Amino acid sequence: MITKRIIPCLDVKDGRVVKGVNFQGLSDVNSPVELGKYYSDNGADELVFYDITASHEGRRLFTDILTEVARTIFIPLTVGGGINSLDDFDRVLKCGADKVSVNSGAIRDPRLIYEAAKRYGDQCVVLSADVKRVDGVFRVFAKGGRENTGMEAIAWIKKGVELGAGEVVLNSIDTDGVKGGFDLEMLDAVCRAVSVPVIASGGAGCIQDFVTLFKTLPRVDAGLAASIFHFGEVAIPALKARRC
């Protein structure tokens, strides 16, 4: 039987791993290459690299670092951030990424999902959605969680999967950084709507939060987190011993 995946996420800006709380107040954490190798050697099931750089130079630096990361890790690597075109898919896949995650780029032009899935296969395209409750409705936010698109989240995610996304990362802005557990209500709604793997993101504070996630929602395939792994608050081998 397939195991539940534990996925550390590395937000990279100007060549360094950073992680904010509720998407604000970034703090320098570590080198992407060192951290990536550490996770690959210590039981992570997959790595996600998000490029949160805005500048052209930053993007080139990210691409260089990505190549270095891909050379040193031997687990699946997903890359996201700044993916707006098939050229962007091509750029990161050539650096050694296995999957590419789209977010704002797909909101701007949903055909990007379809075109990329057609060219690289569904399994290569990950739809990442930042979702927040607004007046009791799940809304999709763009631009790193700063802009309310007004779109209803479940409908958007369903559409993304119909267009060819092979996997969904659901990041709850409401629980992100709070360390009070994953957003089970929001995740349940997504799991009921789609049949592709769903990755839970936002809110994990301790091992028990992952145990609760997989026990309460058996259809969730993976749990993603950042700072609790980076700062050693949760050790992945200990977590994996208890995840099922």
Partner 1 sequence: MIAIVDYGVGNLFSLKSSLAAIGAEAVVTGEAEVLRRADKILLPGVGAFGDAADKLRATGLDAVVIDEARSGKPLMGICLGMQLLFDKGYEYGEHAGLGLIPGEVRPIAEVIPADYKIPHIGWNALRFTGRKSPLFRHIKEGDCVYFVHSFYAANCDESVIAAAEYGAELTAAVQRGNVCGCQFHPEKSGKVGLNILRAFCED
Active-site residue list: 11, 130
Residue 81 parent element (H or E): none
Using rule CB under 8 A, residue 36 touches partner 1:
no
Applying CB under 8 A, the span of 39-47, 181-189, 209-217, 227-235 interacting with partner 1 comes to 39-47
In a 3-state reduction of DSSP, which class is residue 15? coil
Give me the least distance between CB of 140 and partner 1, in Å please: 23
Cα 191 from Cα 38, distance rounded (Å): 31
Does position 243 bind partner 1 by CB under 8 A? no
Contact region with partner 1 (CB under 8 A), list: 79-87, 105-113, 182-190, 192-200: 192-200
Q: Quick one: which H or E segment has residue 75?
A: none
Name residues contacting partner 1, limited to 105-124 (CB under 8 A). Answer: 121-123
Judged by beta carbon, residue 58 or residue 76, the one nearer partner 1 is: 76
Judged by CB under 8 A, the number of residues near partner 1 is: 29
What does the alpha-carbon distance between residue 11 and residue 226 come to, in Å, rounded to a whole number? 8
Using CB atoms within 10 Å of the CB of residue 27, give its burial: 0 to 12 exposed, 13 to 18 middle, 19+ buried.
exposed
207 to 49, 58, 213: CA distances (angstroms): 22, 34, 10
Q: Does 2 bind partner 1 (CB under 8 A)?
A: yes
Distance between CA atoms of residues 111 and 174, nearest Å = 28
Based on the shown chain and the rule CB under 8 A, indicate whether residue 93 belongs to the binding site for partner 1: yes
Q: Which region among 53-61, 90-98, 130-138, 141-149 touches partner 1 (by CB under 8 A)?
A: 90-98
Is the Cβ of residue 119 or residue 143 nearer to partner 1 in the bound state? 119
With respect to partner 1, which residue has the nearer C-beta, 120 or 141? 120
State how far the alpha carbon of 209 is from the alpha carbons of 6, 95, 187, 239, in Å: 12, 34, 14, 10
Site residues (vs partner 1, CB under 8 A): 1-3, 5, 40-41, 43, 45, 70-72, 74-76, 93-96, 98, 121-123, 166-167, 195-197, 221-222
